[in-house]
Structure 1
């Protein structure tokens, strides 16, 4: 029996390469989302004093290792733009073995030290941490490239990387499971009216023009079906790793459409980009690489040059009449 288990484990480790552009695209989206949050939010906003916390950024205990705490006081703007620059390098896909640790440090620094963050920032820090076994064992120059022969032949590294995929999927599945099951304790989600309140809330709901368009639907019995569909979709996403690949291919665009709706109705752009990355980690098989041939061809094709200006024809000199002065 133990021999059989060992053979199965070895076969699992020897399966498709875990180092593909699937996790590469996910980490690019997550890094760009955090970079966008920092680039478009001034430090006085991200590190604003809140009730009970007047001294910001938060630098007590382990938080002292935060990027926003290691620089001298008063250098928050420098730290913010340094973080943006580092995240852009991460998003480029260059040297995952080096930038993986940088990604986690910047993401967890924002989560630790800032006072005005959301759940997406926490998810980004967790996923960057769980991707470390993947990045530290990835010897590629770019996370868009095919895996190297040396990496493919290294069984311990493959075991670490494939185990990281399992942990990542369990984490994202747990997020969706908690999001779905936790709503069953809220009366408005159970009776089907939650979307009415969420989408029409003047502070966090849809923009006024969109709320007016949605009001007839949200005021009808259809709102109950829409509300319950959110619960079912989140529960389905949580069960994603247990489903067949064909069902996961259906769930992935549904999850993306769901989060696009959150971006449109609630304006949570960075949160949605982070969840796009999380959905890829959850539902996309890591050996089904993304094909970017069309994008590469479009980028490489010669751009039409503006037509040169027509040459000016030489104008024959005309004799100018002169008047003799006598």
Structure 2
């Protein structure tokens, strides 16, 4: 009896799953543009460097590394190959044919993550998330992912054999991204500077990885204040935990997870840089929270006339 109810519930969830999503499309675009920024601002000579005294070679071990574009290109100039990867990412960011360009996105992410000598955490996240996005967009038949969902033939999509694959892919993104944030939060707890609340003080003053840019002096001054150092250190752990938990909840809580993620990573970008990593994570959270954002956005829009008298009045049907 329990098994029958479980199966019936899963069938309803799959059937009601919105396979077309503007929020998920926005997340894809943010991730692709963040990855593209690496290729735009970093020459190939800085992406492929000797590590541990070894020659500057691209690993091409089968089966995964061998399909990297840098391996398939053989002896071609890496800067030229990078331009091809950049073009792929810009096509993805445009939103055209999401059902098919998710494959391009995964290929580009795999090429960067498996071939670049010094990948960061964002490259690893992008590889996994874009793999699940190939599945999550399997039933998205729009020309652009900015189009309104539910166009012609929308009623037939719920019964499509691709619907279950799309549902499973979105859940894969959701669980994976939630795990990343929860694992990050829990991993900080046994580390003394994080546990005692002084981590951001030391991070801001690291020689090669500390506060930089226009706000460097401001962040060093602020983290020198004990209360701010405590709040920013423990606040980071709390924010990561909330993102993980809210992503696994329904409705507007997923949208809250996206807001917290954006705020957290913008602050990190302003403090220590790592622009591409920050916005890859923001894009990944947008994808994971897409169902909640899509459901909550119309309700938020409808409330605007009541909260802001100057906003245009909602159109009344009929």
Contact 1:93/1:144 (<8 A) preserved: yes
Aligned to 1:34: 35
Q: Distance in 1 between matches of 2:204 and 2:90?
A: 33
Q: Distance in 2 between matches of 1:16 and 1:257?
A: 28
Q: Distance in 1 between matches of 2:240 and 2:218?
A: 26
Matched, 1:75 2:82: no
Matched, 1:281 2:287: yes
Matched, 1:230 2:230: no
Q: Distance in 1 between matches of 2:173 and 2:70?
A: 27
* Alpha-carbon spacing, 1:16–1:66, altered in 2? closer, same or farther (3 Å): closer
The equivalent position to 2:188 in structure 1, one of 162, 169, 183, is 183
SS at match of 2:86: helix
Contact 2:251/2:295 (<8 A) preserved: no
Offset at residue 209 of structure 1 (A) = 5.8
Q: Distance in 2 between matches of 1:136 and 1:244?
A: 23
Q: Distance in 2 between matches of 1:249 and 1:140?
A: 24
RMSD: 2.2
* Alpha-carbon spacing, 1:90–1:169, altered in 2? closer, same or farther (3 Å): same
Q: Distance in 2 between matches of 1:153 and 1:89?
A: 28
Contact 1:18/1:161 (<8 A) preserved: yes
Superposed, 1:19-168 pairs within 5 Å as 19-62=20-63, 63-145=65-147, 146-148=149-151, 149=153, 152-168=157-173
Residues 2-39 of structure 1 show CA distances to partners (whole Å, capped at 9, x for unaligned) of 44333322221221412211211111111111111112
SS at match of 1:288: helix
* Alpha-carbon spacing, 1:35–1:45, altered in 2? closer, same or farther (3 Å): same
Superposed, 1:186-265 pairs within 5 Å as 186-207=191-212, 210-222=215-227, 223-265=229-271
The total of aligned residue pairs comes to 292
Aligned to 2:307: none
Residues 114-142 of structure 1 show CA distances to partners (whole Å, capped at 9, x for unaligned) of 10210001111111101111233322211
SS at match of 1:138: coil
Contact 1:90/1:100 (<8 A) preserved: yes
TM-score by length of 1: 0.83
Aligned to 2:313: none
Q: Distance in 2 between matches of 1:170 and 1:248?
A: 12
SS at match of 2:262: helix
Q: Distance in 2 between matches of 1:246 and 1:219?
A: 36
Q: Distance in 2 between matches of 1:208 and 1:176?
A: 26
Aligned to 1:313: none
Contact 1:200/1:211 (<8 A) preserved: no
Q: Distance in 1 between matches of 2:201 and 2:218?
A: 13
* Alpha-carbon spacing, 1:248–1:153, altered in 2? closer, same or farther (3 Å): closer
SS at match of 1:120: helix
Which has the greater radius of gyration? 1
* Alpha-carbon spacing, 1:201–1:7, altered in 2? closer, same or farther (3 Å): same
TM-score by length of 2: 0.85
What are structure 2's unaligned runs of at least 5 residues? 302-318
What are structure 1's unaligned runs of at least 5 residues? 294-326
* Alpha-carbon spacing, 1:220–1:55, altered in 2? closer, same or farther (3 Å): closer
